[in-house]
Amino acid sequence: MNSRPAKFAGYCMSLWMAFGAVAAEAPQPVIHPQRWPELPPALPRDEALEAHVEELLARMSPEQKVGQLIQADIGSITPNDLRHYPLGSILNGGNSAPGDDKLTAPSEWLALADRFYEASIGGAGATVIPALWGTDAVHGHNNIPGATIFPHNIGLGAARDPELIRRIGEITALEVRVTGLDWAFSPTVAVARDARWGRTYESYSENPDVVRQYAVAMVTGLQGAPGTPQFLDAAHVLATPKHFLGDGGTGGKDQGDNLYTEKQLLELDSLGYQAAILAGAQTVMASYSSWRGQKMHGNHALLTDVLKGRFGFEGLVIGDWNGHAQLPGCSATRCAAALNAGIDMFMAPDGWRELLKNTLDQVNAGEIGAARLDDAVRRVLRVKLRAHLDTEGRPSSRPYAGRYELLGSAEHRAVARQAVRESLVLLKNANHLLPLSPAAHVLVAGDGADSIAKQSGGWTIDWQGTEPNQDFPHGESIYAGIARCVSAAGGTPNLSPAGEFSTRPDVAIVVFGESPYAEYAGDVHTLEYSPGDKRDLALLRRLHALDIPVVAVFLSGRPLWVNAELNAADSFVAAWLPGPEGGGVADVLFRAHDGTVQYDFRGTLPFSWPSSPRPPAVDELPGEEPLFGVGYGLTYADDGYLKRLPEVDVPPALPPAPARKRSRGRN
Ligand code: BGC
Ligand code: BGC
């Protein structure tokens, strides 16, 4: 429990941090590598593979070497280009798809994978090894309509079920393989510490221990366990813990500045990476963010001395989407500094052509040393050989390729639905309103009730996640799941987003919350839910005032200040971003036909729930006292009474403005 003065001090501190003021006395950004743990090798040294790497390296021209270090986006490169420019990798960004058609058939993905593969080994500028294709499979193979899509990481964090996470990774890998791709840019192992950050939902938890366990589970699911025949076999893909390092500690700002001490960086932010590397992760993505004013893409101490030195990481460090361009003196098409700091592969979606030329010039001019160049190329080759890219053959010839029946198969979707059930957290349940009888007249209201996009969030079919229901071939909205369950029991489901009805319902389920967003588009200044639009609250209050029992199902990518909404509902469920398997919600809310409980709640909060619009305190980081702490979550056995909460925010009094001068930016 926080004492008043501590709370007050915390508030001053968070204000101070919120203004982006780097205190003048802040220590210089110095990393002491010897303070970071030395990890044992994740994989035993494979002499034959290393010899193969050397043999390939010896055959490569400087252009082929530089080419291996560049990844282009399929929106800006064609297979024909790859015949002339020997790039090592391609990706599809959140808004890129074959033929620029995000709804295209999975077979088009596989066909394009074949074309890129053949071009990468066939052309005049041919590389000695095929190109890798990476994708943001961050909650299932989420760019492919019809693939299985799981709850976002925040919901998985509520489930506290590492074995489920491993299985999700395994399914995701298999579905990626169906379309011929090799590499998933996941898991995000950020330890988000300020929910104003637009990427909070990509974080499993504010608790580094949960992130650590899940990092192992997800990497193992995606890649297979090191030392087993399954490791990176035809059913698995490369995993990418991201974004190294400290992206969750930037005071709620995407691509912001992390002001932690070195010790906090190590103890909070690095645990997921340590665990992932020990589990065999082969690639790590660098963060857009900074540590104490220095951009991570240029941080030699962390990328090279710590990650590759102390942690013994032998795989490749991929930059983020034009992340190198943000380094001082760099642009999207020229950046020796990133390579010299330890980035091994530039994510250069659109500037790849010029970047190839400029980087080659920099190699020839000695701005990038031969040893660094060869080290980066070795890493890329090593990862490719570990992934069997040299022997696997064309993407469509691989064992699971083209088995489209696996995309969104009943078996896979059952796991997604289980994950939905396990991710729900019950915050209030007055008078044991839940579980409900399905043989009732049920009003389903709120603009989230019948919107698969809203329940799925960003990184779903496209970057910001805006698809209409019909673009989810197997998807079920929360309403559709309720309707199926209630109709089967002889009850009557009634959908009215505005909450209108002609026959008085026995109960109203109001599904509402945040609209989809990704990355910085989701940054907010306040944790107050929907500060400018109180229509959801009005809806809850209207139904409540009519004495209709109200169940609130809250969709959000983060915990938010919802005191008023909590007061206006009899039961309140934090459902996070459950994804297209909406039926999982009804599984938990309703009893079976015979009156027994089918599934109880088992989710617990992965993040502290705010008691004000300001971020709650997290461990040694300052903030206000949370309304509910990490680990909170009711079950049907609990008395779900919740006292009436204050609806007006009374911020702690402001301290007098600090007299000292503020220095901005780099220190
Ligand atoms: C994001 C990464 C993502 C990459 C490729 C970036 O903007 O920060 O998480 O993997 O784009 O889509
Ligand atoms: C891409 C994303 C990427 C983002 C970065 C988008 O256009 O689709 O993959 O993360 O740009 O700003």
Query: From the alpha carbon of 240, which atom of ligand 1 is closest?
Result: 10
Q: Are residues 110 and 223 in the same domain?
A: yes
The parent domain of residue 253 ranges over: 51-280+355-405
Q: Are residues 430 and 392 in the same domain?
A: no
Please check whether residue 332 lies inside any domain of the structure: no
Q: Does 242 contact ligand 1 (Cβ within 6 A)? A: yes
Q: To the nearest whole percent, how much of the chain has pLDDT over 90?
A: 91
pTM (predicted TM-score): 0.94
Q: Say how many domains are in the chain.
A: 2
Output the CA 100–ligand 1 centroid distance in Å.
18
Q: Over 60: is that where the pLDDT of 458 sits?
A: yes
Q: Over 50: is that where the pLDDT of 349 sits?
A: yes
Q: Length of the chain in residues, anyone?
A: 667
Please check whether residue 360 lies inside any domain of the structure: yes
Query: From the alpha carbon of 518, which atom of ligand 2 is closest?
Result: 10
Q: Are residues 370 and 510 in the same domain?
A: no
- Write the CB contacts of 479 (distance below 8 Å, at least 6 apart in sequence): 444, 449, 450, 493, 495, 511, 582
- Write the CB contacts of 533 (distance below 8 Å, at least 6 apart in sequence): none
Range list of β-strands (E), 446-576 = 492-495, 507-513, 550-555, 571-576
Q: Are residues 393 and 439 in the same domain?
A: no
Q: Are residues 394 and 528 in the same domain?
A: no
Q: Are residues 398 and 499 in the same domain?
A: no
The mean per-residue pLDDT over the stretch 436-444 comes to 98
With beta carbons less than 8 A apart as the criterion, state whether 495 and 479 touch.
yes
With beta carbons less than 8 A apart as the criterion, state whether 601 and 634 touch.
yes
Q: What is the mean pLDDT of the chain?
A: 94
The mean per-residue pLDDT over the stretch 451-477 comes to 97
CATH, residue 89:
3.20.20.300
Confidence category of residue 7, pLDDT binned at 50, 70, 90: very low
Output the CA 303–ligand 1 centroid distance in Å.
18
Please check whether residue 653 lies inside any domain of the structure: no
Report angle CA 608, 613, 614 to the nearest 5 degrees.
65
Q: Helix-strand-coil percent breakdown of the chain, rounded to 5?
A: 35, 15, 50
- Write the CB contacts of 48 (distance below 8 Å, at least 6 apart in sequence): none
Tell me which of 135, 142, 185, 321 to substitute to probe ligand 2's pocket, judged by most ligand atoms within 8 Å of the beta carbon: 321
Confidence category of residue 662, pLDDT binned at 50, 70, 90: very low
Per-residue pLDDT tens digits for 177-216: 999 999 999 999 999 999 999 999 999 999 999 999 999 9
Query: From the alpha carbon of 92, which atom of ligand 2 is closest?
Result: 9
Query: From the alpha carbon of 94, which atom of ligand 1 is closest?
Result: 12
Q: Among 20-34, 166-180, 572-586, which stretch is predicted with the lowest mean pLDDT?
A: 20-34
Please check whether residue 221 lies inside any domain of the structure: yes
Label residue 55 exposed, middle or buried (CB < 10 Å: 0-12, 13-18, 19+): exposed
Among 537, 557, 589, the domain-final residue is 589
Q: Are residues 229 and 108 in the same domain?
A: yes
Please check whether residue 503 lies inside any domain of the structure: yes
Q: Are residues 398 and 433 in the same domain?
A: no
Q: Over 80: is that where the pLDDT of 15 sits?
A: no
Residue having the nearest C-alpha atom to atom 8 of ligand 2:
94
User: In one letter, which amino acid is 598?
Assistant: Q
Output the CA 463–ligand 1 centroid distance in Å.
9
Coil/strand/helix, residue 103: coil
Q: Are residues 379 and 507 in the same domain?
A: no
Ligand 2 contacts (CB < 6 A) are 93-95, 321, 463
Per-residue pLDDT tens digits for 89-100: 999 999 999 999
Please check whether residue 26 lies inside any domain of the structure: no
Say what the pLDDT of residue 618 is. 84
Q: Give the span between the Cα atoms of 150 and 152, in whole angstroms.
A: 6
Tell me which of 133, 463, 520 to substitute to probe ligand 2's pocket, judged by most ligand atoms within 8 Å of the beta carbon: 463
Q: Are residues 500 and 400 in the same domain?
A: no
Please check whether residue 184 lies inside any domain of the structure: yes
Q: Are residues 223 and 108 in the same domain?
A: yes
Say what the pLDDT of residue 479 is. 99
Bridge partners for 581 per DSSP: 476
The mean per-residue pLDDT over the stretch 362-376 comes to 98
Among 574, 589, 604, the domain-final residue is 589
Say what the pLDDT of residue 140 is. 98
Q: Give the span between the Cα atoms of 440 and 458, in whole angstroms.
A: 34
Q: Give the span between the Cα atoms of 183 and 181, in whole angstroms.
A: 6
CATH, residue 440:
3.40.50.1700
Among 405, 435, 466, the domain-final residue is 405
Q: Are residues 446 and 554 in the same domain?
A: yes
